[in-house]
A and B are shown apart, each in its own frame.
Chain A
Amino acid sequence: MDNLSELLHGFTIAVTVPHLALMVVGVLLGILVGVLPGLGAPNGVSLLLPLTFGMQPVSAIILLSSMYWGALFGGSVTSILFNIPGEPSSVATTFDGYPMARDGRPTTALATAFGSAAFGALVGVILITFLASWVAQVALAFGPAEYFAVYFLAFASFVGMGGAAPIKTVVALAIGFAIAAIGIDTVSGSVRLTMGIDELVKGVNFVVAVMGLFGIGELLVAVEEEFHARAVSSKIDWLEVFRAVGRLPRHSVALLRSAAIGCWMGITPGGPTAASFMSYGIGRRFSRRGRYFGTGEVEGIISPETADHAAGTSALLPMLSLGIPGSATAAVMMGGLMIWGLNPGPMLFVDQKDFVWGLIASMYVGNIVAVALVLLTVPVFAALMRIPFVVIAPLIVIICVVGAYSVSSSYLDVVMMLGFGVVGYLFKKLFYPLAPLVLAIVIGDKAEDAFRQSMLMSKGSLGIFFANKLVTCLVVAGIALLLLPLALQLFARIFRKPASIETTTQEKVII
């Protein structure tokens, strides 16, 4: 194995005292920016970027990527504890992570999330190590039609399996698409749906939407339900951290399935967000305890977290080998590469072996450093849950307001965030699902662009979605997922007495 010897050489670069120290610093900074919503990994990395100009490129990328790992882990903390996802990709973690933490098991929720995230990241790195050249080829096969098919698959895997009434899911999706359409349209270049507000030309930022929908929305519901009566008693329990991680192998099927989904979505540049949603949706269908998803299920945390990190890690590969940044953070790092005098692209693997393999080796080591550090912080974060609601509620409001403002220093964002809070509250009260809404806000405009680019290419013929094996498989899989629940219901009606269906759908948990 050529790659293996290259990797060992990479380890000799990555595992040195200064580099290990950089990893620790990077991870700690990353956890910090990840935990503070609104700051997030892309901003954190761009703040740090000027400091790296005088460094060796390898040291610089190790610092920045360690910060990225730290931020990915840190982003899950607020999702689980306060229902405020710091990154688009940790939205799906709130669905089961938050209920579990609220149930008095924050330690378990955090430790499970970190453990499975580390597993996902590890699978992603292994994939990069051994399949680098093949992966780069797969990514190239993706044109607009294939992109659209992947997004369609993500929507289908979620819609088809949603617990809520299908019509409510469709309504939520439609509202999400409308919000995603605000601002300048890539394909026509015209301004859409700004309703006379000049500033809306920038579109609706995801962080603004999500902090309102989840953070403020949940807070409003909690206030109404007099949530403070149920004080959460969480002991600082070190053993539980290890017990939770130790229990992970029992869910090996979920872990492997989610890692596979994550890697696949990372390579086909669907990205971590689509991966985590899809993994959650598929997990709900195929897990034995799928019907309890949304109430604090362990596998409901494992599925999105594993897929998110597997995708996040393997998404760095297209950046290095093709120069396509898979995420906002990767885009900042790519800017860094250029400034350090490196050009991302296929030649990087040939010209800059030390850099590439040093980075890949640092992914192994950096993730181990990150998970060790982050597991140490679990009891500290879990202790936050013991703070009484009367103290934490204003804190959440402050975090959301500051977070929304810091996205682009705009008061309009704060107002919109509060507006989304009301929308989130109404959705909860009326049993509309929030997940499809958020999914549509996050990848709705990308799906639209991809669809319209395909239509331009094919001069309006839908045949482009069946033009080759790859895209046909993706579209057929999407349609199948969409129709699966219908088909199953139909079977149930034919083979059983048609009574029980109506009641079960009503009882299902709305997320």
Chain B
Amino acid sequence: MRGTSLFLLSVSATVLAGPMPAFAAWQPQKPIEFVATAGPGGGTDNLARAVQNIITKYKLTDQPIVVVNKGGGSGAEGYVYGKASAGDPYKVIFGTSNAWQQPLVSKVAFNYTDLTPIAAMAQDEFLLWVKQDAPYKTAGDYLKAAASGDFKMGGAQSKDTDEVLTRMIEKTGHVKLTYIPFKSGAEAAVQLAGGHLDSHVNNPSESLGQWRGGTQRPLCVFSPKHLPQGPKITATEGWGDVPTCVEQGLDIKQYEQPRTVWLPGKVTPEQAAYYVDLMKKVQATAEWKDYIEKTSQVDTFLTGAEFDKFIKEDLEHVKQVASEQGWLVK
């Protein structure tokens, strides 16, 4: 009842107020499904659940929200589901850049153009990690040692962000690395701790515990400037103390993975605008800041033309790497 009366109220308000922006009119009328394109416990799942939690806490909508996990096929399951739900504004898909990267390199049955982009809400940084007792102190030393040609680089999935970055390191640093794909960055981190790998390029949150525990350490961050300082991770260092890779002679200025939010295709602009607005409200809360800090991500909000531009640029870049490696699917 409350939902209906609120709806009527807002409709009448719109009518009374006369020429208001049209998108204020649409309100959800039934439960909303958050589709995480990752298994329970992964970074994308954590984001979906954090957003759900904030919306519920601040009653940003009257409708209940359920989170479902569709992480099969490296997330393809969730995107295919989004494509199949065209026109349904009650399915919100949470993913990463693999929404546009995956269709380039494997024959999945979706493309990012099948979905309606809402926003990129947070950026995960990448760092170059080595085992704690490794002899090299800087990325330069690492590259020198890697020139021997039998360095093993671990990462999550194949032909995905981690491998793309690995190939970029190869090209920029003039080395050859053996890339070993694992199911997740967490697995790669454990393999590095055990000495089965020489390095990996995990996000901060994937290796935070390992760094604190003294099994591995970051050499440099693939970012134009140092990360925000934040609390100390080890006795002496925090994220802000990690040098940038450019400073250390590995000339890759920036490499980031955005956390992205989508609606299925063929929804109305009003519906899309409603969710853009909802996510903006989420981002303004203290809980969101807390989530960003705990997962060591960078707060960002790209939507509309900015988001499109970001996708286009990233796509061009990945396409170049993929074609050099012969990954592109015909």
Contact = CB atoms under 8 A, between A and B. Distances in A.
Nearest to B194: A140
A97 to B, nearest CB: 28
A176 to B, nearest CB: 18
Nearest to A343: B209
A188 interface: yes
Contacts of A419: none
B194 A323 contact: no
Contacts of B97: none
A201 B181 contact: no
Contact of A184 (B74, B190, B208): B74
Interface in A187-237: 187-191, 198-199, 201-203, 205
Interface string A330-351: 0111110011010111111001
A457 to B, nearest CB: 6
A184 B76 contact: yes
A457 B178 contact: yes
A331 B40 contact: yes
Contact of B40 (A42, A191, A338): A42
B61 interface: no
Interface string A141-161: 111100000000000000000
A457 B40 contact: no
Interface in A417-470: 449, 453, 456-457, 459
Interface string B249-284: 000000000000000000000000000000000000
A53 B152 contact: no
A384 B193 CA distance: 50
B77 A202 contact: yes
B19 interface: no
B63 interface: no
A46 B180 contact: no
Contacts of B157: 186, 189
Given A183-B73, A338-B295, A346-B209, A453 B194 contact: no
Interface string B137-166: 000000000000000100001111000000
- A202, A335, A348: residue with the most chain B Cβ atoms closer than 10 Å: A202
Contacts of A345: 208-210, 212-213
A340 to B, nearest CB: 9
Contacts of B72: 183-184, 201-203, 205, 408
Nearest to A198: B109
Interface in A121-151: 139-144
A142 B69 CA distance: 29
Q: Which secondary structure dominates where chain B touches chain A?
A: mixed
Nearest to A269: B190
Contact of B152 (A187, A189, A191, A457): A457
Nearest to B189: A323
Given A189-B160, A198-B109, A201-B109, A324 B76 contact: no
B106 A191 contact: yes
Residue from B39, B70, B106, B213 with most neighbouring chain A CB atoms (10 Å): B213
A409 interface: yes
A325 B194 contact: no
Contacts of B41: 325, 331-335
B174 interface: no
A409 B198 CA distance: 41
A346 B159 CA distance: 31
Bin the interface of chain A by size.
Answer: 35 or more
A346 B214 contact: yes
B40 A201 contact: no
A161 to B, nearest CB: 30
B49 A323 contact: no
Contacts of A199: 77, 80, 84
A297 interface: no
Contacts of A343: 208-209, 212
B295 A408 contact: no
A272 B329 CA distance: 38
B52 interface: yes
Contact of A328 (B39, B56, B105, B190): B39
A50 B106 contact: no
A341 B209 CA distance: 11
A185 interface: yes
Contact of B108 (A46, A191, A328, A449): A191
A506 B301 CA distance: 68
B186 interface: yes
Considering residues B45, B67, B181, B295, which has the most beta carbons from chain A within 10 angstroms of its beta carbon? Answer: B181
Contacts of B68: 408-409
B289 interface: no
Interface of A: 42-43, 45-46, 49-50, 53, 139-144, 183-191, 198-199, 201-203, 205, 322-325, 328, 331-335, 338-339, 341, 343-348, 351, 408-409, 449, 453, 456-457, 459
Interface of B: 39-42, 45-46, 49-50, 52-53, 56, 67-70, 72-74, 76-77, 80, 84, 105-110, 152, 157-160, 178-183, 186-187, 189-191, 193-196, 205, 208-210, 212-215, 291, 294-295, 327
10 contacts: A140-B195, A143-B196, A186-B183, A203-B73, A323-B190, A324-B190, A332-B40, A346-B210, A351-B212, A409-B68
Sort A-B residue pairs by CB-CB distance and give the 7 closest, nearest first. Answer: A345-B209, A202-B72, A346-B213, A189-B158, A143-B196, A198-B109, A202-B77
